[in-house]
């Protein structure tokens, strides 16, 4: 998948501005951003459900929206609903026909898919009896029918318990291992951090950061537990970089190790008593919030 300066405007509103990216086969790519950032617009453009205002998008070697290419794409939208009176097997059979997949392969394909998403024993049950988590598993199964070469997953773990989220991470890794590219939207940043090879962060229609996890999580944070500091003292410490204050806990989000002794000395000079100094690994959530604050 490849885009060049992909742009979409709705009247005077810019929903997506100059998106350029490449997602190779077998890569798990995370597409992150707050609500209204342009994520859904980007997915609709890549699926061919919207026409771009400017720029180009190529999916599986063809222009986005190519009908032949669509048969090789799986899609799990964030919001979906299946007819409550249908069984899980009937839902999958309906999508086999829509795909369309050769009818002689349907039973084997449905059996395989139900097993992958953990619904092998519930295939004959009506969707109306399913929990939200089971419906989410079924939606994922629909996206996996026909062994697609590219899968778009929008909040795939949103309704799942910890066991379900673990299972979905395993499914995503297996897809990548067989050469399927996975384009993942999720608000559960800890999930993205565990499974994605690369990520892009989008805000107000623009990509504001991107790269591998190693490239993105370059910041170093240090947490201090200190008493005796006034509000004025906190202001005096701002020269050491961005900081978050929560009671006795002060976290500096961009502090290198060589400046820690100097900072401790300054805290003591200001009347503080330092009880604890703890280096903290920067998480994707930390970096995500930092990027949005910088905007």
The CATH number given to whatever domain includes residue 74 is 3.40.50.300
Confidence tier at 178 by pLDDT (50, 70, 90): very high
- Please check whether residue 43 is in contact with residue 154, taking contact to mean a CB–CB distance below 8 angstroms: yes
- Please check whether residue 43 is in contact with residue 210, taking contact to mean a CB–CB distance below 8 angstroms: no
For residues 38 and 65, membership in a common domain is answered with yes
Residue 140: enclosing H or E segment and its boundaries? helix 132-144
Residue 288: which region, alpha, beta or left (left: phi > 0; alpha: psi -120 to 50)? alpha
For residues 191 and 91, membership in a common domain is answered with yes
Q: CA 141: distance to chain centroid?
A: 19
Average pLDDT, the chain: 92
For residues 117 and 132, membership in a common domain is answered with yes
For residues 51 and 175, membership in a common domain is answered with yes
Rounded alpha-carbon distances, angstroms, from residue 21 to 5, 39, 284? 9, 13, 20
* pLDDT (tens digit per residue) in 215-252: 887 667 899 999 999 999 999 999 998 888 999 999 99
Confidence tier at 205 by pLDDT (50, 70, 90): confident
The domain of 241 spans 220-294
CA distance 251 to 81: 43
For residues 51 and 158, membership in a common domain is answered with yes
- Please check whether residue 20 is in contact with residue 200, taking contact to mean a CB–CB distance below 8 angstroms: no
Residues, the chain? 295
The answer to whether residue 114 scores a pLDDT higher than 90 is yes
pTM exceeds cut of 0.75: yes
């Amino acid at each position: 998948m490849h885009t060049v300066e992909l742009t979409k405007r709705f009247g005077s509103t810019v929903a997506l501005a100059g998106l350029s990216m490449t997602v190779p086969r077998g890569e798990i790519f995370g597409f992150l951003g707050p609500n209204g950032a342009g994520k859904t617009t980007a997915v609709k453009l890549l699926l061919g459900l919207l026409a771009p205002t400017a720029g180009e998008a190529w999916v599986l070697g063809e222009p986005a929206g190519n009908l032949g290419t669509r048969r090789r794409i799986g899609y799990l939208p964030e919001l979906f609903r299946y007819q409550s009176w249908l069984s899980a097997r009937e839902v999958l059979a309906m999508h086999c026909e829509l795909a369309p997949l050769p009818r002689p392969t349907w039973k084997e394909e449905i059996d395989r898919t139900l097993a992958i998403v953990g619904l092998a024993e519930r295939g004959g049950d009506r969707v109306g009896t399913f929990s939200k988590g089971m419906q989410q598993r079924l939606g994922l199964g629909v996206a996996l029918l026909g062994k697609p070469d590219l899968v778009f997953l929008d909040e795939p773990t949103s309704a799942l318990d910890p066991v379900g989220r673990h299972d979905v991470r395993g499914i995503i890794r297996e897809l990548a291992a067989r050469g399927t590219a996975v384009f993942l939207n999720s608000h559960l940043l800890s999930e993205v951090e565990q499974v994605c090879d690369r990520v892009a962060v989008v805000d107000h229609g623009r990509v504001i950061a991107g790269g591998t996890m190693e490239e993105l999580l370059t910041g170093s944070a240090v947490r201090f537990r200190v008493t005796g500091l006034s509000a004025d003292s906190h202001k005096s410490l701002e020269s050491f970089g961005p900081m978050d204050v929560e009671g006795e806990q002060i976290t500096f989000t961009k502090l290198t190790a060589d400046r820690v002794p100097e900072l401790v000395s300054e805290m003591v000079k200001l009347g503080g008593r330092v009880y604890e100094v703890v280096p903290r690994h920067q998480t994707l959530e930390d970096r995500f919030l930092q990027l949005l604050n910088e905007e």
